[in-house]
């Protein structure tokens, strides 16, 4: 794009304006031509015309060679995809062509054609719902759901098993409906017309019975048409009317169609010479027509002597592909015109931009220079370009020269200023440091003197610490010995306690032995009592003689009772002793544990005291070391104080010299500032 732009620019201002103008004019011319071409139909209808003419010529070839003619027509119809099948015609043709007088290939074609027709579910490329009228009265309505195969006069419809053959004729004076109803192969009735046949095609009306169908065209097939008749028919039907020579073959029911007899044909031939007849026929045989807003080319093929009858074949040719071509061509032309026109406009805009931009830039540069602004940094390299561009580059070059010079001066001034400022800063800083140094030295001297006094104090204190540490060591050692003695005593107590516990347990065991003896005594007492009872009984049995014995027995019984009471009491006491022993054993165990804990504590104390002795010894050594060190430090401090006093004198002398240097730096800085003010009047960046 950039290359193209540069080349285009090299044409110069005049050249570019000329080029753009020519482009726009070419676009306008192209658009005009395309509209004119599209408006004329010549290009598009010619192909259809040729095709139908050929068909017509074929049909007229030889009136006597029936089979050959028919075969050619069939071939034509079968091969041409643009032919809209008029179902009625083809149905008729098929029905008529039983194949008896055809060769094998023609028979095959007929069968194929028959299938094609049978499969056709509509007439032409548009769906029709047939409405037949008599003086615009609705007579019958068929929609596709009732297996209607198409709308056409003489077509065969099958509804609920009934075959219905319908033909509708319309004449100025006398409109007739030809209707044949066939039920179970028997004709139940029909009507017919006189001079010709008119077929009315109506706009599809779906599901609205009340609306009248709109008639859009009338096709009339007739053997003879006068101008008066044509006019009358046109007015009557209020539509465009197509006339065809001969009877229009519209249905398989050929016998209902007006036939062109040999006699009539002969009379026609006599009436018109051969040349005239051909001209008339060819004029009548094809025609452009519009049905339902769609353009068709329709042609009549007059068929002479089919089955000894004269008929005609109506072929309608859809102009859809022609119209499509026409539309496509129109779109192509319009697009081309838009493209060329657009290109021309773009070129004009580009030209204007290329001229105006450098001029504007030059103007802006002049304005900036006037106010001292030299900061423009645009690139002025490159070659070629038009006059305005060269002007802009020259100006840019001048600005750059001037800017470079001023930049050098500015840079030098800035450097001087920076140096002066730096020098001033450094001197100021140095002066501060010198002053600070002098005061610091004084301060340090005072601090060191103070430190010297403190050192003396520390030396005295460390001597005292040394004495205390020695005393502490002696005391700790004696404490350790005492605790070790205590531990030995506790071991002795523990041993005694263990022995006591063992003895108490033995006591418990012995008391259990006592219980056994008591039980034995109790048993003996019980037996004694029993014997005493028997003695009493015997004494009682003896009467007065046994009275004294009875008293003795009673005494024995009392004694036995006493023994039993006593044993019971002893048993209680022994039980109490046993309980007490158990409690004593438990208490002794607890005491033993306490003694053991005390001993452990004593061991821990001995260990701690041993550690303490070590620590006290270390403390004593350290205190001695500190005492010696502080003495040495005191002497060193005194020497430092003398040296520092000499340093303080030197620092004061340095501060005076620096102060004089600072004054000179300040003068230099003022000078550089004045120079910079002069240069800053120009803007360079």
Q: Name the segment binding other proteins (CB under 8 A); options: 93-101, 241-249, 483-491, 528-536.
A: 528-536
Q: How far is CA 610 from the centre of its chain?
A: 82
Q: Which is nearer to other proteins, 523 or 611 (CB)?
A: 523
Contact status: 353 vs other proteins (CB under 8 A): no
| Least spacing, CB of residue 514 vs other proteins, in Å | 22
Which among 164, 676, 149, 92 has a CA at the least distance from the CA of 421? 676
Which among 44, 103, 22, 29 has a CA at the least distance from the CA of 70? 103
Contact status: 608 vs other proteins (CB under 8 A): no
| Least spacing, CB of residue 511 vs other proteins, in Å | 24
Q: Do 508 and 581 meet the contact criterion of CB atoms below 8 Å apart?
A: yes
Q: How far is CA 266 from CA 261, 269, 307, 347, 466, in A?
A: 8, 5, 19, 74, 171
| Least spacing, CB of residue 533 vs other proteins, in Å | 4
Q: Do 165 and 156 meet the contact criterion of CB atoms below 8 Å apart?
A: yes
How many other C-beta atoms can be found within 10 angstroms of the C-beta atom of residue 628? 11
| Least spacing, CB of residue 516 vs other proteins, in Å | 20
Q: Which is nearer to other proteins, 530 or 664 (CB)?
A: 530
Q: Which is nearer to other proteins, 11 or 559 (CB)?
A: 559
Q: Which is nearer to other proteins, 561 or 578 (CB)?
A: 561
Q: Is 536 left (phi over 0), alpha (psi -120 to 50) or beta?
A: alpha
Contact status: 534 vs other proteins (CB under 8 A): yes
Binding test (CB under 8 A) with other proteins, winner from 8, 19, 533, 549: 533
Q: Which is nearer to other proteins, 149 or 536 (CB)?
A: 536
Q: Which is nearer to other proteins, 21 or 523 (CB)?
A: 523
Write out the DSSP string of 463-519. Answer: HHHHHHHHHHHHHHHHHHHHHHHHHHHHHHHHHHHHHHHHHHHHHHHHHHHHHHHHH
Which among 565, 528, 529, 536 has a CA at the least distance from the CA of 552? 536
Contact status: 527 vs other proteins (CB under 8 A): yes
| Least spacing, CB of residue 576 vs other proteins, in Å | 20
**What's the CA gap between 101 and 423, in Å, rounded?**
131
| Least spacing, CB of residue 515 vs other proteins, in Å | 20
Long-range Cβ contact pairs of 657-661 (< 8 A, separation 24 or more): 658/427, 658/430, 658/431, 658/434, 659/431, 661/427
Q: Which is nearer to other proteins, 527 or 607 (CB)?
A: 527
Site string for other proteins, 535-564 (x = CB under 8 A): -xx--x-------------x--xx--x---
Q: Which is nearer to other proteins, 419 or 554 (CB)?
A: 554
Site string for other proteins, 612-631 (x = CB under 8 A): --------------------
Binding test (CB under 8 A) with other proteins, winner from 565, 600, 638, 667: 565
**What's the CA gap between 278 and 272, in Å, rounded?**
9
Contact status: 488 vs other proteins (CB under 8 A): no
Placement of tokens 């645009």 in the chain:
378
For residue 249, give the DSSP letter: B
| Least spacing, CB of residue 567 vs other proteins, in Å | 12
* Site of interaction with other proteins (CB under 8 A): 527, 530, 533-534, 536-537, 540, 554, 557-558, 561, 565
């Amino acid at each position: 794009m950039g290359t193209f732009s540069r080349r285009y620019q090299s044409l110069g201002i005049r050249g570019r304006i000329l080029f753009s103008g020519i482009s726009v004019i070419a676009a306008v011319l192209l658009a005009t031509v395309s509209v004119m071409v599209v408006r004329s139909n010549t290009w598009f209808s010619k192909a259809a015309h040729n095709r139908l003419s050929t068909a017509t010529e074929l049909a007229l070839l030889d009136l006597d060679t029936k089979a050959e003619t028919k075969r050619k027509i069939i071939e034509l119809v079968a091969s041409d995809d643009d032919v809209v099948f008029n179902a009625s015609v083809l149905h008729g043709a098929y029905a008529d062509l039983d194949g008896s007088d055809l060769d094998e290939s023609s028979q095959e074609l007929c069968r194929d054609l028959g299938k094609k027709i049978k499969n056709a579910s509509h007439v032409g490329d548009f769906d029709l719902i047939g409405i037949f009228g008599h003086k615009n009265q609705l007579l019958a309505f068929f929609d596709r759901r009732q297996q209607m195969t198409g709308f056409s006069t003489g077509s065969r419809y099958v509804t609920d098993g009934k075959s219905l053959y319908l033909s509708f004729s319309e004449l100025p004076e006398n409109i007739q409906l030809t209707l044949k109803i066939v039920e179970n192969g028997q004709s139940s009735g029909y009507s017919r017309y006189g001079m010709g046949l008119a077929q009315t095609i109506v706009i599809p009306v779906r599901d609205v019975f009340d609306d009248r169908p709109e008639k859009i065209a009338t096709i009339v097939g007739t053997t003879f048409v006068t101008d008066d008749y044509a006019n009358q028919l046109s007015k009557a039907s209020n539509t465009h009317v197509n006339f065809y020579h001969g009877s229009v073959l519209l249905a398989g029911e050929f016998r209902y169609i007006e036939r062109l007899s040999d006699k009539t044909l002969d009379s026609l031939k006599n009436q018109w010479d051969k040349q005239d007849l051909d001209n008339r026929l060819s004029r009548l045989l094809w025609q452009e027509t519009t049905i339902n807003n769609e353009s068709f080319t329709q042609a009549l093929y007059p068929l002479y002597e089919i089955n000894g009858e004269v008929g005609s074949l109506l072929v309608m040719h859809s102009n859809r592909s022609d119209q499509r071509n026409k539309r496509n061509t129109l779109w192509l032309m319009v697009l081309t015109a838009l493209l060329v026109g657009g290109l021309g406009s773009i070129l004009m805009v580009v030209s204007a931009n290329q001229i105006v931009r450098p001029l504007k830039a030059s103007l802006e540069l002049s304005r900036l220079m006037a106010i001292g602004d030299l900061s423009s940094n645009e690139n002025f390299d490159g070659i070629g370009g038009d006059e305005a561009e060269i002007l802009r580059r020259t100006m840019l070059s001048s600005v750059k020269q001037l800017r470079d010079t001023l930049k050098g001066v500015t840079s030098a001034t800035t450097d001087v200023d920076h140096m002066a400022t730096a020098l001033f800063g450094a001197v100021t800083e140095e002066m501060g440091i010198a002053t600070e140094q002098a005061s610091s030295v004084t301060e340090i001297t005072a601090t060191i003197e103070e430190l010297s006094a403190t050192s003396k104090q520390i030396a005295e204190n460390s001597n005292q610490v040394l004495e205390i540490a020695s005393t502490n060591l002696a005391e700790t050692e004696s404490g350790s010995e005492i605790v070790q003695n205590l531990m030995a005593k506790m071991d002795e107590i523990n041993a005694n306690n263990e022995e006591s516990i063992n003895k108490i347990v033995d006591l418990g065991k012995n008391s259990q032995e006592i219980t056994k003896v008591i039980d034995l005594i109790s048993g003996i007492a019980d037996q004694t009592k029993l014997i005493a009872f028997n003695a009493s009984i015997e004494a009682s049995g003896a009467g007065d003689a046994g009275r004294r014995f009875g008293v003795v027995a009673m005494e024995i019984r009392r004694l036995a009772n006493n023994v039993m009471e006593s044993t019971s009491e002893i048993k209680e006491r022994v039980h109490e002793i046993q309980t007490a022993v158990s409690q004593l054993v438990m208490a002794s165990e607890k005491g033993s544990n306490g003694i053991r804990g005390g001993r452990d504590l004593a061991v821990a104390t001995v260990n701690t005291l041993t550690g303490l002795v070590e620590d006290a010894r270390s403390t004593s050594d350290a205190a001695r070391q500190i005492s010696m060190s502080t003495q040495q430090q005191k002497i060193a401090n005194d020497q430092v104080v003398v040296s520092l006093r000499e340093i303080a004198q030197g620092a004061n002398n340095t501060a005076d010299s620096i102060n004089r240097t600072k004054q000179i730096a300040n003068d230099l800085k003022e000078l550089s500032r004045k120079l910079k003010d002069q240069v800053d009047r120009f803007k360079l960046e």
